[in-house]
Structure 1
Amino acid sequence: MGYQLSAVVADVELLREETRELEHAVLGGLRQDFALLPVTPRLVEDLTGAPPDYTAGEPDPEQPFTLVLSPALTGVLARWSRRGPIAYVEAAFAGGLGHQAAVVWLGGARSWGPRFDAVFDGPRGEWPINAALVELGVEPGAWIDPFAELGLHVERDTAGWLAHGRRGLTVDYWDELAEEWEERQSGIGQQPDGPRSVGDWGIP
């Protein structure tokens, strides 16, 4: 099963305030009072007044994102970051192969990144999205890394995150469904014994 992500991640109240007038903004709730804003062509047009551009080839360290971060788009994100740190994160995986990249703005300017990885041979905490989330202030928790701690694994693509946001789901929704099913099957309330594993992200 593949995985695709193109999104802005920041404090939920920051994103709610900055996107309240945008027609095509949909926020997906994450843990620790963060939210995810799926970046779609219509959203980019809302933000910049022009359709997005995409790179022709595969992303690499020199051109880390599939989405071209135009001056107009980065200007909007930099402006938002005056209220708190903002990350743009991107990932694409299929058959265990793929890449991820991230960049962070704070105080009206780029403060970290961009970083890109398609090998994932370094420590998990140094992978681009994990490292960017730490820059946002994500705290360690029961899950294996910041990516899973916020719940970025619960939807597999932009369409999933749009549905997630429109339905007002929490990132614990699928765990809650599984627990309800277990309770119905066993007749007793069973809770997980410990932190869950999120398996391979490729996002390894």
Structure 2
Amino acid sequence: MSYQLSAVVADVELLREQTADLDHAVLAALRQDFALLPVTPQLVTELTGALPDFAIGEPSAEQPFQLVLSPALRELLAGWSRQGPVAYLEAGFAGGLGHQSAVVWLGGAVSWGPCFDDRFDRPRAEWPINAALTRLGAEPGPWIDPFAELGLHLERDTAGWLAHGRRGLSADYWDDLAEEWEQHQQPPRPGPVGDWGIA
């Protein structure tokens, strides 16, 4: 099973304010009052006035992102971070192999990263996306790590996140559906004794 992510994550109100007038911005709800903004070529063009550029070859520590973060895009995200921390996250997995990368801006400048990992031999908390989400203010909860706690596992790719946002789904949507399904699968409870024909 594959997984692909290219997104900006920040406080939902911060992202709502910064993207209110954009035609190609779709916000997807996460838990803990965060939101995910899927980064598409159309969005990058709208934000920067230029077509996006993509790295040649696989991401690495030297070139952590597939999307080349142009000076205009970096400046824009840094500007957003004056209202609170903003992270750009990327991940790509197929057949159990893959990578993830992250960078965080705060107060108009990079405050952490960029960080890249394709070995995952460190504790989960130090994986790039988990570390970035912690720096955004993600709180521990019942899920295994910040990635799952906020709900980044809910969709498998950009198209999924776009659909999630356009449909206005919550981060608990799938859990709610499963719970509803389970309730409807329960056999009907027996009625009172009188309903059994026993007087």
TM-score by length of 2: 0.93
Structure 2 residues without counterparts, runs of 5 or longer: 189-199
Opposite residue 139 of structure 1, the aligned amino acid is E
1:155 matches 2:136 = no
Counterpart for residue 12 of structure 1 = 12
Q: CA separation of 1:39/1:183 partners in 2, compared to 1, >3 Å: closer, same or farther?
A: same
C-alpha distance in 2 between matches for 1:77 and 1:32: 21
1:98 matches 2:98 = yes
1:26 matches 2:26 = yes
SS in 1 for 2:22: coil
C-alpha distance in 2 between matches for 1:137 and 1:177: 28
Q: Residue 20 of structure 1: CA displacement?
A: 0.3
How many residue pairs match? The answer is 188
Opposite residue 14 of structure 1, the aligned amino acid is L
Counterpart for residue 166 of structure 2 = 166
Opposite residue 104 of structure 2, the aligned amino acid is V
C-alpha distance in 1 between matches for 2:11 and 2:162: 18
Counterpart for residue 177 of structure 1 = 177
Counterpart for residue 41 of structure 1 = 41
SS in 1 for 2:90: strand
Counterpart for residue 71 of structure 2 = 71
Runs of 4+ in 1 over 3 A off after TM superposition: none
What are the Cα deviations for residues 126-157 of structure 1, in whole angstroms up to 9, with x where unaligned? Answer: 00000000000000001000000000000000
Counterpart for residue 112 of structure 2 = 112
SS in 2 for 1:180: helix
Q: Residue 77 of structure 1: CA displacement?
A: 0.0
- Name the larger-Rg structure: 2
Structure 1 residues without counterparts, runs of 5 or longer: 189-204
Q: Residue 187 of structure 1: CA displacement?
A: 4.6
Q: Residue 186 of structure 1: CA displacement?
A: 1.4
C-alpha distance in 2 between matches for 1:95 and 1:26: 29
Counterpart for residue 134 of structure 1 = 134
C-alpha distance in 2 between matches for 1:11 and 1:128: 19
Q: Residue 69 of structure 1: CA displacement?
A: 0.3
1:81 matches 2:81 = yes
Q: Cα RMSD between the aligned structures? A: 0.8
Q: Residue 171 of structure 1: CA displacement?
A: 1.3
Opposite residue 48 of structure 1, the aligned amino acid is T
C-alpha distance in 1 between matches for 2:184 and 2:22: 42
Q: Residue 92 of structure 1: CA displacement?
A: 0.3
SS in 2 for 1:184: helix
SS in 2 for 1:36: strand
SS in 2 for 1:183: helix
C-alpha distance in 1 between matches for 2:42 and 2:55: 18
C-alpha distance in 2 between matches for 1:187 and 1:50: 59
